[in-house]
Structure 1
Amino acid sequence: MGIFSRTRDIIAANFNDMLDKADDPQKMIRMIILEMEETLVEVRASAARTIADQKEMHRHTVKLDKLQADWAEKAQLALSKDREDLARAALVEKKKAGDMSEQLKQEIAVLDDALRAYEQDIAKLQHRLREARSRQTAIAARLESAENRVKLRSLMTNERVDEALSRFDQLERRVDYAEGRADALKLSSEADKLSLADEIAALEGTDAVDDELEQMKRALGLNESADDSAAKKGE
């Protein structure tokens, strides 16, 4: 396959269709990138050779232009010496140099067109290569995500995992039971043994009840009756 036809095929390729039809999209995108990189190297190498050929042709045209000037001077010299035959021969050589120079200039123009085509192809290939590498990164990320989901689902459906989780539940129940017993013992101990502050608070509570009871008695006149009875008994 020629360099130009392969370049055109890559530029015109539809990556989406190629990836959709591929059994292994990641492998396919790697192959596409490798093909594009190789083609890009070849296109650049061809462009470099074209530039080198063009420079060599320029050097030849300069030499041919100088040669034409030399033959023109020789023709004039021969004609001035009345050697028309030599002058004619010199002009023939001048024409040959001129024809060769013109041909080289036409070839240089063709190479100019080729170089412009190379520049366009290189720019398009670079764009397509960036696109392919971007697709490769996206495909790799999607593939990794899919593989991780598969591993996670496989792990969650594994019997050994279910068994381990069941054991964790049993351990949690044992811990809950132990903590419950400890809390119950603590409450029982605190109920059986009152602190000094609690005992004093209880006494204060009793005094408050007695005071309230006396107030109620006075309000009902029960205290006066009790005082009179005590006085009478004293007499």
Structure 2
Amino acid sequence: MPLLERVSTLLRANINDLIEKAENPEKLLKQLVLDMENQLLQVKTQVAIAIADQHLLERKRQEHEQEIAEWKRKAELAVARRHDDLARAALERVISFERLTKGFAEQAEDQKLEADTLRQTLHKLEQKLSETKAQCEILIAEHRRARVLKRATDAHQHVGATQDSAIGRMKSKVRRESAENLAAGEVLLPATLEDRFRSLEEQEQVELLLTQLKERAALPASTPE
């Protein structure tokens, strides 16, 4: 769906690459956080809707199971009173409700998987938003310091800096960039490690769901009474 595609784009966003291409890094970072907050709100809404639909389908399945039990009781009553025509009609209702029950059960299972997917997406987006906010604060502070330093450097050059002072400024810039790269690496490393553990946990959850589906599929089908 388009919503999950937009969220996926935000989750894959490389902040450093965006900053390199941006004319106004601060404005871009603030807009990125705002976009993520808006998408987070939409995903929360979709999660709530998916869960509500899942509960509705489950309730419909349960209602139809109750109808099956009721019509079976009526069929048994008709047989006991030797009304075979009524018993047949009741059993036809049983078969019809069993078919509907199966359909609602399948839809409920599909809806559960969709709700789980949305929950996982919401969790990832919440974590990404938290990480991005912290990262943006660091990068904005670095950007402001760089601008201040650039103005100071420009002023120094304007009054006529010597060659030695120019070399000194270059060394300072190189050291600052190295420090920024190190800081960026330290910020990104925990997120990469967490992503690896989250991926491992998601794979285990998928395998568990698959095993459960296979076990359910292996159960013998019930025959109409």
Q: Same fold (TM over 0.5)?
A: yes
Q: Alpha-carbon deviations, 1:75-96, whole Å to 9, x = none?
A: 1111222221211111111112
Aligned to 2:136: 136
Aligned to 2:123: 123
| Residues 96/123 of structure 1: CA separation in 2 closer, same or farther (3 Å cut) | same
Aligned to 1:72: 72
Aligned residue type for 1:80: A
Superposition map of 1:88-127 within 5 A = 88-127=88-127
Superposition map of 1:48-63 within 5 A = 48-63=48-63
- Distance of 2:29 and 2:140 partners within structure 1: 10
1:87 aligns with 2:90: no
- Distance of 1:49 and 1:40 partners within structure 2: 14
Q: Alpha-carbon deviations, 1:120-171, whole Å to 9, x = none?
A: 2112212221222122101221233234335556777899xxxxxxxxxxxx
Q: Alpha-carbon deviations, 1:12-33, whole Å to 9, x = none?
A: 2222222211111111111211
C-alpha displacement of 1:99 = 1.4
Aligned residue type for 2:135: R
1:4 aligns with 2:33: no
Question: Cα RMSD (Å) of the superposition?
Answer: 2.2
- Distance of 1:52 and 1:60 partners within structure 2: 12
5+ residue gaps in structure 2? 160-225
What is the DSSP-based 3-state SS (H/G/I as helix, E as strand, rest coil) of the residue aligned with 1:82?
A: coil
- Distance of 1:151 and 1:6 partners within structure 2: 38
Aligned residue type for 1:139: L
Q: Percent identity?
A: 26
Aligned to 1:174: none
Aligned residue type for 1:133: K
Aligned to 1:210: none
5+ residue gaps in structure 1? 160-235
How many residue pairs match? The answer is: 159
Aligned to 2:16: 16
C-alpha displacement of 1:73 = 0.8
The TM-score, its normalising length taken from structure 2, stands at: 0.63
- Distance of 2:25 and 2:135 partners within structure 1: 10
Q: Alpha-carbon deviations, 1:184-217, whole Å to 9, x = none?
A: xxxxxxxxxxxxxxxxxxxxxxxxxxxxxxxxxx
- Distance of 1:17 and 1:144 partners within structure 2: 18
